[in-house]
Structures are given as structure tokens and as C-alpha cells.
Amino acid sequence: MNESPRVLIDPDDEIDGLVVLTLNRPEKKNALDRQMVDALHQALEPLESDSSVRCLIFRGAGDSFVAGADIAQLRERRAADAHEGVNQKIFRRIAEFPAPTIAAIQGWALGGGCELAIACDLRICSEDARFGQPEVALGIIPAAGGTHRLARLIGLGHARELIFTGRIIDAEEALRLGLVNRVAAPQQWFHEAQKLARKICKNAPGAVRLAKSAVNQAADLDEEGRDQLECDSQAICFESAEKLERMTAFLEKKRKK
């Protein structure tokens, strides 16, 4: 019997430019195994070069986002596997995706699931969502971006506490710490993610992509480098057709009032 695909790819019928990637292993609460990682790479490859894609939403099938990595597979991994950086590479690819990405989270987002969520640009979660980096309880560390992305997102003190204790937090605390952008009712979490994506997709796609690139690169540059990056990105915008078209439309609309 053929297994269901690990990742489902669906262009949103209502929002032009939005693509939804569903992690599809609901019987295991979408635990991240090697097959799912490979499927994510395959899904992202054509989307990265598709300029019509303005936003990606990642969601989980069933009642969870991603409950963690597949422990049965993790138990068998050795030093060479750690240096291969299986999960690290896919989450870096998600973080570097040219267009904005949104994690739409319900249920569990633990371990690799939390790391996947924080690799995305934005996070919308349901009131029933739960987050954590409990790796140390299993004798490993959050080594797929958790030790540095979590700290940048919520600050060193909070990140250290969550990583060192493995404590699981609820949606309310995740919002307070800045781990998520918004919390929605259990029936509305995906709708809220779509609303956010709709606002992104209405904007000039070239400018949005350049803004994301500048934000992502800024952390690795000094002040002079950040200023130069902004100038270089703005120079591209100033020469673009979309800037001329959108500013002309704005001025004409204002003139008619």
C-alpha cells in the first residue's frame, strides 16, 4: 500500500501568490523523519525560483503542527549524522526562502517542530498550541537552529531557560515572550494566518523580498554594512517598475479625492 505524501503543496484558491505546505503525518503528530525532510526539500526547490510565490504558510495535518523529530530515527544517529545536519539544513533553507513564511501552529510544536516554527518569519498559533525545546531530557541539544534562532527571537535569558529546563510553554506565554506574533481561537488559527498572508501578498513582491533579505542579513553586518545593504536594496526598488506603477497609482488616487 502506498503511503500518503509527507508534504502536501496547495496554492491558496483565495489569495493570489500564497502557497500552503502541509506536513502530512498526522498519525505520528507530524513527527519530523528523514522522509519528511526530503519531501520538504523537494517541495521548496521549485518554489524558491517561482517569482509568483509571495508567501508560504507551513501547517500540520491533524491536531498538531510538528510534535518533534522522529525519536526512533534520532536514537540511531551517530556523530557523522550530527555533522550532516539533516534538520539544520532544511530549516536554514526555510529561513532563507526568498518570500515571507508563516508557521500556522496548532497543538504541539516541540523540539524540531519548534525549530521549524522559529525558522519561519512569522508565527500564528491556536490557543491550544504548546511550544518547547525538550531535547536535553533525551540527551541531545536543539541543534537545528534552536540554540541561536530562539535566542534572537525571545532573548538570551528566556532562551536559556527553555533550552536548559526543557520546559513546555502555552500559547499565552509564547505570545508574552515574543515567540509568536498572534494567538487565535482554536477554530480561527489558520484563518488568522491567511489574513496575515493576504496583507503580505497585496504588497509589492519585489520590495517584500528585498526587505526580507535585508532583515535577514542585518544581524551579520556592522552598522556601516547594514546602512550599505539598505541603500543597495533601496536602489533596486527605486529603479523597479513596481515602484513607479504603485506610486503613480497612489498619486492618481489621491488627486481624485
Phi first, then psi: what are they for 23, rounded to 5°?
A: -75, 120
State how far the Cα of 124 lies from the Cα of 106, in Å rounded to an integer.
Answer: 9
Q: Is the pLDDT of residue 85 over 60?
A: yes
Last residue of a domain, one of 186, 201, 216: 201
pTM assigned to the model: 0.94
Range of the domain at 108: 7-201
Cα-based distances in Å from 62 to 4, 28, 106, 139, 187? 14, 10, 9, 29, 13
The CATH number of whichever domain residue 228 belongs to comes to 1.10.12
pLDDT digits (tens, 9 = 90+) for 213-240: 999 998 888 999 999 999 999 999 999 9
pLDDT digits (tens, 9 = 90+) for 102-148: 999 999 999 999 999 999 999 999 999 999 999 999 998 999 999 99
Query: How many distinct structural domains can be found in the chain?
Result: 2
The CATH number of whichever domain residue 160 belongs to comes to 3.90.226.10
Residues marked as catalytic: 115, 135
